[in-house]
Homo-oligomer: A and B are copies of this chain.
Amino acid sequence: MKPDARNHHLDELNQDFLYHLGLDTNMDLEAMFGDVQYVCMGGSPVRAENFANKAAEFLGLGIPEGGAQPIGKTERFSMFKVGPVISVSHGMGMPSMSILLHELAKLLDYAGARNAKFIRIGTSGGLGVEPGTVIVAEEGVNAMLKSTFEQIELGEKREYPTTLDRQLAQGIIDSRGNIKAELGKTMGTDDFYEGQGRLDGALEPNYDEDKKMAFLRRAHEEGVRNIEMESTAFAAFCLRAGIPAAVVCTTLLDRLKGDQVTSTPEQLGQFSDSAQCLVLQYIRKQLSQATV
């Protein structure tokens, strides 16, 4: 986090409870987290744990006996640390992501790890790309197809830009090797069913198949290559904080060709793996260059 983005009110606190992480400033956060360089986030606790173990193996850090263990409480988020990498779950949707970002940014600031990069690794619905393609976001766009994140503060709406770090995105793309990956805009929505134009929600929708397809085609024409539920809040927060950030999501299907996932479970597993491997290839390259 850049110093001028930091909340000056924090200086007035005797002790800061990072409530949803189960950590506080009476702990030796510098010893625990001072060496963090990369924070990798995924939706579920299972994915966060898998990624931590995969990172340990891939980066040659050695997996601890019994696998990586969570730090802090696990009621809301599950956080793991292997070497300079944090792997943490963010739940589903922008509000959950937003809570995590505030507490993580404070945590790393207190720990003195002020140059860490934040990378969200997830799954998504694709638009006009072959299922399994990894999209590295150039920027987040909201459900109105605008490159902004709207937040209400004390009853007033505010909009924040959702640009992501182009250099980081390009660096990740350049590490792709055999992984199918490309740049594109990532749309972040506040709902999985009606918010993403699905026709299989519980309630009778206000639109039909034709209107759905017209909207998805319009989004594709405007450069959107995938749809998920966190990108705009994530991009806006990191931009405000001065934290270099990337959104790296596998596409599980092509929404322009249908809403059903037709890949086999094996293929789906491989798709999910691709986004994680792409990020690990990038991190390994960066760490080895730093050592040279």
Contact = CB atoms under 8 A, between A and B. Distances in A.
Interface of A: 1, 4-10, 13, 16, 20, 43-46, 75-76, 91-96, 98-99, 101-103, 105-106, 109, 142-145, 151-155, 157-158, 189-195, 197, 199-207, 211-212, 214-215, 218, 229, 237, 240-241
Given A192-B99, A194-B151, A9 B44 contact: no
B204 A152 contact: no
Which A-B residue pairs are the 6 nearest by beta carbons? A93-B95, A105-B202, A143-B152, A154-B215, A92-B96, A9-B199
A140 B273 CA distance: 41
Contact of A203 (B5, B46, B99, B212): B5
A250 B278 CA distance: 44
Nearest to A108: B202
Contacts of A13: 200
Contact of A95 (B5, B20, B44, B92): B92
A207 B206 CA distance: 38
A106 B192 CA distance: 14
A223 to B, nearest CB: 15
A218 B155 contact: yes
A41 B263 CA distance: 33
A154 to B, nearest CB: 4
A203 B6 contact: yes
A192 B98 contact: yes
